[in-house]
Chains A and B, each alone.
Chain A
Amino acid sequence: MTSHSLFSAFLSVVRRDLLLAYRHRSELVNPLAFFVMVVSMFPLAVGADVELLRRIAPGVIWVAALLASLLSMDAIFRSDFEDGSLELMVMTPHPLSVLVLAKVVAHWLLSGMPLLLITPLLALMFDIDVDVIWVLLLTLLLGTPVLSLIGAIAVALTVGLRKGGVLLAILVLPLYVPVLIFASAAVDSAASGLPISGQLYMMSAILFLAITLTPWPTAAALKMSLG
């Protein structure tokens, strides 16, 4: 088998998932609406003090992004598992880990990207400086793919279970911690005018580590769930 056919398999899985999502457009909006709503609950809860809101906004946006990605995560394998297309993917001559990576890429384009696009708007509502918004976006760009990659492992582990929802959160949230820490540290440093390259290097390192390593456990877990 040539690498060309592997790459085209990768692309066709991405294309298929995007097309499927396009046919169910309304489902795409829900995690985004959730993200915006969670963020807008915070001013109501802690008060409308602009100074305070500006300080906590990056953290709030990040936690909301974490929760939103958690919500949308379950969909990544669920329908394929139920209608049997996942079994067909396992049976193709291509390594499952590559196909899994394709599914994660499609999932990030559908769930991570929209968060990135709406974040500047939310950031303006919290009166964050423009420079800090750029850093926030950069951390989201580096961080949200990691969330999808790690989340895929947990979804693969729980996809065969009927009540996977809460369990998924318990499995995934502890693993999200490093991303959250470095992202918020970067935004904090940017807000106080300190260099942020260290945190961004760490986040890039985590991203590449996740791209390289997570498809294997995800593939193994999927095979286990399929029995």
Chain B
Amino acid sequence: MMKFLHKFSSPPYFYSISGRMLPWLTALFLVLLAYGLYGGLVTAPADYQQGDSFRIIYVHVPAAWMSMFIYMVMAVSGGIGLIWRIKLAEIVSISSAPIGASFTLLALVTGSLWGKPMWGTWWVWDARLTSELILFFLYLGVIGLYNAIEDNRTASRAVAILALVGVVNIPIIHYSVEWWSSLHQGPTVTKFAKPSIHIDMLIPLLVMAVAFKIYYAIALLLRCRNELVQREQGSRWLDEVLEKV
């Protein structure tokens, strides 16, 4: 495992294997997306209270999950880059930031669209909405800091420190749901004993969640390859790769 990771983190190997992985991932993503959307928008029964409006969860919930997941990926890979000075970890960390920010924005916008018919208002200052908004601000800070520092390696280290500091906020985000009384729905999926969501609704939701993860992998690989090419300009392996194209 360690050997594989070590090999994977070498830029030339990563560049070639990620190029081969991309078509497979894209195919898998499209299949899962098609199944998840069909299942969620067509076959899943309408909610007895919310009618068809609930179907936005097939985008909203996976996006919200991704927003936190990507922040963790960003912080952990940033930490790895900070400690072991692995170039690829730094690249993964900073390449994740814009994707995470987009998912956070998507979760906010879809939540707001759902809130209008359900709560009668576009926005409420409820704990979860607010913490998602703060997460978005954290992403903006990371992106802003990275762009402000000219040297890429220094910027990556700065961003890693900031992301690790921000991680302290993630538990607070999570527990905020229980601490403040809230208009937002309580969690309906993660109750392991007996999920309070119908199984026909749940399966497309989980499929969509996996589809979003794979989409993240695709976007991440593309961004990483791009960043790698920019950073490694003039290195020999890159010249060899470019000659073949």
Query: Which residues does A use to contact B, with CB under 8 Å?
Result: 150, 153-154, 157-158, 160-161, 163-164, 167, 170-171, 173-175, 177-178, 209, 213-214, 217, 220-221, 224, 227
Contacts of A150 in B (CB 8 A): 165
Contacts of A164 in B (CB 8 A): 148
B137 A220 Cβ-Cβ under 8 A: no
Stretch at the interface among B138-146, B197-205, B235-243: B138-146
Contacts of B113 in A (CB 8 A): none
Contacts of A173 in B (CB 8 A): 137
A221 B169 Cβ-Cβ under 8 A: no
Query: Which residues does B use to contact A, with CB under 8 Å?
Result: 82, 134, 137-138, 140-141, 144-145, 148-149, 154, 157-158, 161-162, 164-166, 168-169, 172
State how many angstroms separate the Cβ of B124 from the closest Cβ of chain A: 16
B161 A170 Cβ-Cβ under 8 A: no
Q: Which residue among A153, A173, A224, A227 has the maximum number of chain B CB atoms within 10 Å of its CB?
A: A224
**29 A-B contacts, Cβ less than 8 Å apart?**
A150-B165, A157-B145, A157-B161, A160-B149, A161-B148, A161-B149, A164-B148, A167-B141, A167-B148, A170-B141, A173-B137, A174-B134, A174-B137, A174-B138, A174-B141, A174-B169, A175-B165, A177-B134, A177-B169, A178-B169, A178-B172, A209-B168, A214-B165, A217-B161, A217-B164, A217-B165, A220-B82, A220-B161, A224-B158
State how many angstroms separate the Cβ of A15 from the closest Cβ of chain B: 29
Q: Which residue among B134, B145, B169 has the maximum number of chain A CB atoms within 10 Å of its CB?
A: B145
Once bound together, how far apart are the Cα atoms of A170 and B148, in whole Å?
Answer: 12
Once bound together, how far apart are the Cα atoms of A220 and B162, in whole Å?
Answer: 11
A224 B145 Cβ-Cβ under 8 A: no
Q: Given A161-B149, A173-B137, A174-B169, are A153 and B144 also a contact pair (CB < 8 Å)? A: no
Contacts of B165 in A (CB 8 A): 150, 153, 175, 214, 217
State how many angstroms separate the Cβ of B125 from the closest Cβ of chain A: 11
Once bound together, how far apart are the Cα atoms of A63 and B82, in whole Å?
Answer: 34
Once bound together, how far apart are the Cα atoms of A143 and B178, in whole Å?
Answer: 23
Contacts of B145 in A (CB 8 A): 157-158, 167, 171
Contacts of A221 in B (CB 8 A): 158, 161
Compute the total of residue contacts between A and B using a CB distance below 8 Å. 58
State how many angstroms separate the Cβ of A136 from the closest Cβ of chain B: 21
Contacts of B137 in A (CB 8 A): 170, 173-174
Q: Chain B interface secondary structure, helix, strand, loop or mixed?
A: helix
Among A160, A167, A175, A220, the residue within 8 A (CB) of B144 is A167
Among A153, A163, A174, A209, the residue within 8 A (CB) of B161 is A153
Once bound together, how far apart are the Cα atoms of A33 and B140, in whole Å?
Answer: 30
Once bound together, how far apart are the Cα atoms of A118 and B217, in whole Å?
Answer: 53
Contacts of B164 in A (CB 8 A): 217
B166 A158 Cβ-Cβ under 8 A: no
The 6 closest A-B pairs by CB, nearest first: A174-B137, A171-B141, A170-B141, A174-B134, A157-B158, A174-B138
State how many angstroms separate the Cβ of A78 from the closest Cβ of chain B: 16
B140 A158 Cβ-Cβ under 8 A: no
Task: Name A173's closest neighbour in chain B (CB-CB).
Answer: B137
Task: Name B130's closest neighbour in chain A (CB-CB).
Answer: A177
Contacts of A213 in B (CB 8 A): 168
